[in-house]
Structures are given as C-alpha cells and as structure tokens.
Amino acid sequence: MFSTIYRFEVRQHLKKVFTWVFLFLMMAQGVYYMHHSGAFYSADRTFANAPAIVYTVLAGMGYLGFIVAGIFGSLVLGKDLEYKTASFLYTTRATENTFFAARYLGSLVVLLLLYGGYLLGIMLYNYLPIDNLGPVAWGAFLRGILLIFLPNVFIIYTLCFGISVLFRNPKLAYMVALLTLLLMIFGETTFDSNPQTVLLDPTAFSVLHSQLEHLSPAEKNSFSPDFAGLLLWNRVIWITLGMLALGLAWRRFSFRSFISRTEPVSKTNPDNHRPMVAVRTDLPTRKPASIFRPLRIGTRCFRWPGWSSKPPFDRWASEFFSPFSW
C-alpha cells in the first residue's frame, strides 16, 4: 500500500504544469544567483565560480526555493482538508503511518526534483561565456550539497509540513516559509554586531557570509568551510528542530482527529451545518386534502370545486353588491 500511495503522489505532481514551470524557473534562478554573486566579488579578482560563491549560492536557495517549500509543505496533507477529500481517502486499507510516510516522501522526492533545477542552473553557469571564470570546483559543489543544501531542503520543507499538520491548517506552511526567510535576512544583517545571531538562520547563509568577510581573493578561490563551531551548531540545532516537528506531526496525525476540524456555522443559512439524521420511510403518509370542500345544508353535504364552505349564492351576492366591485 505504501508504494501505491507513493507512486500516486509522485505521478500527480508530475502531471501538473506547475511542477515543470517551477523547474525551469529554479534553473534560471540558479544561473542568476551565480551571476549576481560573481559580480559582487568581481572587484577583488575572485573567480566568478569560486568555491566561496558556490557555497553561499547553495545556502541561499533563492526566494523561489522558500516559496516552493511552503507550497509543497502545505499540500502534503493539507489538500485533503482544502478539497474536502479526507473522508473518502482515509477509508482505504492504508494505515495512518503508511499514509503519512508515503505522502511525505512522495512530495519530498518531487521537491528535490525542483531543487535539482536550481543545482543544474549552478552547474550550467560554469560553461557560459562569462569573464573571470575559474576551474569548476566539483569538490566544493558536492560538499556544499551534502553539508548545506540537502539539510536546508529537509529543514524548511519539514518545518512547513510539520506545523501545518500539527495545527491542521495548510496556510501556516506559508507563514513558516516566510519566517525562515526573515530569519535568514535577520542573521545576515546582524552578525557584525552579534556573531551568535547566525544560529537563528535556518539556511546557514549568514554563517558562511561571516566567514568570507575578511578573506583574500586567493582564499575565496580555494574556500572550504570547517564543519565546526557556529556552522556545526547551526546544522545541529535546525536539523533537530526539523526532526522534532516531523516526529510531533507523526504522533499527532490520525485519520479521525485530522478530519475533525469544525467549520464556522453560516449566519445566512445555519441549517447547512445541522447534523444529518436518519429518516424513517416506513411510516404511514397522510393523504392529500381534496380540492372539493364540503358544503353542508341540513343533513346533506354538497361539494363545490375550488370554493370555500360558504354557499355560492351568498358569495356571488357579497361580491356583486360590494362597492369596490364596480
């Protein structure tokens, strides 16, 4: 059952035009960020594709990276609440743990595909006709992916996903993605006055930037950050928070509690939210009243079609002699 749900989740994402549009945009963003960062350090003869630039571009992830992580984090299980399909999907033979893991991993694989476009853009930049290009730093590229990029994808995506599941509100995933971006900007702009603030940056971008501040061009061209100190603590803190959010979401998730979110009663039509009740169909039904109404004179009963029980002569007389009838 796990493989069925997992393959279905991946196929559904791959069928959407949204996925391929963002794949192209992420690739273009990778090229743009490499060019922008290379131009920033071009004044001191640093290579446009120096390892220092590669590390910072991998850590920055781009603004689209935060948006995509928020979208996927909200859609993993939030789409069942958004489209009112939870009551149908949760009646399958899949267990809660199987459903949770298949949905989470299926969306994560597609998200990694989109971020692969970002990595492809970084690699393609090395083969464009750009001035001041140095040798391709494959070692820095692979090390940056393992130590910086993949942990960032896990941290941001898992925090967005975990918070939206814990509070059963898909919109909170976008707030978490925005908060991680703001924390990165905060760490970047305040590490000069307080170096410890870089620990608040989930991406470790400000940690790397603080290490590049006083390096020479030759050191930037051969830069390789030590996985220790603030960088190590930054990774440990945020990976732990991501795993904690995932664990709490896994413990909290259940088919019964996840679809028990009540909706506000409509003020204009409150009957729409009344509980459904069973209706018996075996009760005798009342025969409809006849269109002929009885008129009793003495002991006899006469029926006049469509008229009241008042005799027709009295009715004609009252209408004829009424002052408003002429």
28-37, 85-94, 189-198: range with highest mean pLDDT: 28-37
Summarize pLDDT for 256-275 with one digit per residue, the tens: 665 565 344 444 444 444 44
pLDDT greater than 60 at residue 181: yes
Q: Report CA torsion sign: 106, 158, 17, 79.
A: positive
Helices marked H in 167-253? 171-190, 205-212, 217-221, 229-252
- Least confident range of 143-147, 174-178, 310-314: 310-314
What would the two tokens of residue 145 be?
A: 């992916």
What is the reported pLDDT for 238? 95
Token code pair at residue 66: 């935060």
The answer, yes or no, to whether residue 242 has pLDDT greater than 90, is yes
pLDDT band at 278 (very low <50, low <70, confident <90, very high): very low
Distance CA 97, CA 118 (A): 32
Residue 166 confidence (pLDDT) above 50: yes
What pLDDT does 274 receive?
Answer: 43
CA–CA dist 226, 203 (Å, integer): 16
Instruction: Please tell me which residue, 12 or 111, carries the higher pLDDT value.
Output: 111
CB 170 within 8 A of CB 75: yes
pLDDT at position 240 is 95
Confirm whether pTM is higher than 0.85. no
The 10 Å Cβ neighbour count of residue 60 is 24
CA torsion through residues 286, 290, 294, 300, sign: negative
Cα 298 to Cα 131: distance, rounded to the nearest angstrom: 118
